[in-house]
Amino acid sequence: MGSITRSFANNIGSSGILSASAVTNATIEDVTSFSSAASPATLVLISTQTASSSATISFTSGLDSTYDEYIFKFINIHPATDNTHFQFNMSTDSGSNYNVTKTSSFFEAYQNEAGTQTSLNYQDGYDLAQSTSFQTISYAIGGNSDECIGGSMQLFNPSSTTYVKHYISRISLYNSGDYAVENNCAGYGNTTSAINAVQFKFSSGNIDDGIIKLYGVKKS
């Protein structure tokens, strides 16, 4: 039994817990190598766009075969218009057209500020069934100066030319009627063409303020 092994063995208690004294500068300096370990998934920032009375925010680069999964982060997205919906669509022609056919489901949870109204329900008015329309991922957002949304959307393997393109969004919002609302949407772009651009907008009015960040999830 080597000296390092004996040192560790002598410092293991009856419960199997290693005492702090087992690891010292002396024991570490004698270690010649460590076993390799799988690194966790890492987000790689690709681009950041900041809205300023913007009609749309479009990502026309960075979506390619570099990563199998991409994540959009929405930070304080504030509408210029009250009671509007946050939406997105995808493109297969680098943003010339945003009209990918989509099928999706949409549900929500909410509670008002008074704590008197709560619900968890499916919202079939915001899902899509083989539609090229923009997909609503958050609805009835308040337009007052302190009202906004925050959340994220995942897009899986957009460069595939074999499979459909799945997406999942989860957003927290300040509803125009003073509700805390969580909107959840999931679906797929029903195309085997590569998705190479994504556009975000409100159903009416501009994106007054806010930040959208695009990340790639590093391959293992």
- Same domain for 196 and 161: yes
- Same domain for 140 and 52: yes
Supply φ then ψ for residue 163, to 5 degrees.
-115, 165
Give the distance between the most distant pair of CA atoms in the chain. 73
- Same domain for 207 and 138: yes
Q: Give me the number of domains the chain comprises.
A: 2
Domain that holds residue 27: 1-36
Q: Looking at the predicted structure, is the pLDDT value of residue 47 above 60?
A: yes
- What value does the mean pLDDT of the chain take? 90
- Same domain for 88 and 67: yes
Q: Do you know the residue count of the chain?
A: 220
CA 141, distance to chain mean position in Å, is: 19
d(CA 12, CA 14): 7
- Same domain for 209 and 175: yes
- Same domain for 97 and 50: yes
- Same domain for 56 and 106: yes
Residue 82, pLDDT score:
96
Q: Across the beta sheet with 43-54, what order do the strands follow?
A: 43-54, 207-217, 69-79, 149-156, 165-174, 179-189, 102-112, 118-122
- Same domain for 122 and 29: no
d(CA 109, CA 122): 9
Task: List the single range of 10-14, 39-43, 138-142, 159-163 with lowest mean pLDDT.
Answer: 10-14
- Same domain for 101 and 27: no
- Same domain for 96 and 31: no
Supply φ then ψ for residue 123, to 5 degrees.
-120, 90
At 115-150, the pLDDT tens digits run: 999 999 999 999 999 999 999 999 999 999 999 999
How far CA 187 is from CA of 22, 117, 129, 207, in Å, comes to: 52, 28, 10, 24
- Same domain for 81 and 183: yes
- Same domain for 52 and 30: no
At 26-45, the pLDDT tens digits run: 555 666 655 555 555 599 99
d(CA 203, CA 200): 10
CA 38, distance to chain mean position in Å, is: 23
